[in-house]
Structure 1
Amino acid sequence: MSKVIAAINVTINGVCDHTAGIADEVLHQHYTKLLAEADAILYGKTTYQLMEYWRTVLDNSAEQQSMKDFAVAINRIPKIVFSHTLKSVDWASASLAKGELKETILNLRRTEEKNVLIGSRSLIIQALNLNLVDELQLCIHPLIASKGLQLFENIKQQMMFKLLKTKTFNNGILMLYYQPLVGG
Structure 2
Amino acid sequence: MARRVVLDLAVTLDGFIEGAHGEIDWCIMDPEMNFTAFLESVDTILFGRKSYDLWKSYVPEGEVSDLDKEMMQMIEDKEKVVFSRSKRASEGNVAFSDDVEGTVERLTAQEGLDLWLYGGAELITECINLGLVDEYRLSVHPVVLGRGKPLFSNIEGRLDLELQKVNRYDSGVVQLIYGRA
TM norm structure 2: 0.86
Asked if the contact 2:10/2:27 (under 8 Å) is kept, the reply is: no
Whichever structure has more strand as a proportion of its residues is 2
Paired position in structure 1 for 2:104: 105
Q: 1:61: how far off?
A: 9.9
Paired position in structure 2 for 1:19: 23
Paired position in structure 2 for 1:180: 180
- Measured in 1, the distance between the counterparts of 2:88 and 2:162 equals 39
Asked if the contact 1:167/1:174 (under 8 Å) is kept, the reply is: yes
SS state of the match for residue 149, structure 1? strand
Asked if the contact 2:28/2:141 (under 8 Å) is kept, the reply is: no
Match of 1:47 among 44, 51, 57: 51
Listed as ranges, the matches of 1:24-173 within 5 Å are: 24-26=29-31, 30-53=34-57, 56=59, 62-88=63-89, 92-97=92-97, 99-120=98-119, 121-173=121-173
Query: Please, what is the CA RMSD of the aligned residues?
Result: 2.2
Runs (4 or more) in structure 1 with deviation over 2 Å come to 18-27, 29-33, 85-90
- Measured in 2, the distance between the counterparts of 1:53 and 1:23 equals 20
Q: 1:128: how far off?
A: 1.2
Asked if the contact 1:26/1:169 (under 8 Å) is kept, the reply is: no
Q: 1:65: how far off?
A: 1.3
Asked if the contact 2:45/2:116 (under 8 Å) is kept, the reply is: yes
Asked if the contact 1:3/1:116 (under 8 Å) is kept, the reply is: yes
Q: How many percent of aligned residue pairs carry the same amino acid?
A: 24
Q: 1:172: how far off?
A: 0.8
Summarize deviations over 1:110-154 as a string: whole Å, max 9, x none.
103210111102222111111111111111111011331111011
Cα distance change of structure 1 residues 109 and 89 upon mapping to structure 2, 3 Å threshold = closer
Q: 1:62: how far off?
A: 3.6
TM norm structure 1: 0.85
Code of the residue aligned with 1:47 in structure 2: it is: S
Cα distance change of structure 1 residues 139 and 53 upon mapping to structure 2, 3 Å threshold = farther
- Measured in 2, the distance between the counterparts of 1:134 and 1:89 equals 27
Asked if the contact 2:14/2:146 (under 8 Å) is kept, the reply is: no
Q: 1:5: how far off?
A: 0.7
- Measured in 2, the distance between the counterparts of 1:138 and 1:167 equals 10
SS state of the match for residue 139, structure 1? strand
Aligned residues: 175
Q: 1:101: how far off?
A: 0.8
Structure 1 unaligned regions, length at least 5: none
Cα distance change of structure 1 residues 106 and 145 upon mapping to structure 2, 3 Å threshold = same
Asked if the contact 1:5/1:117 (under 8 Å) is kept, the reply is: yes
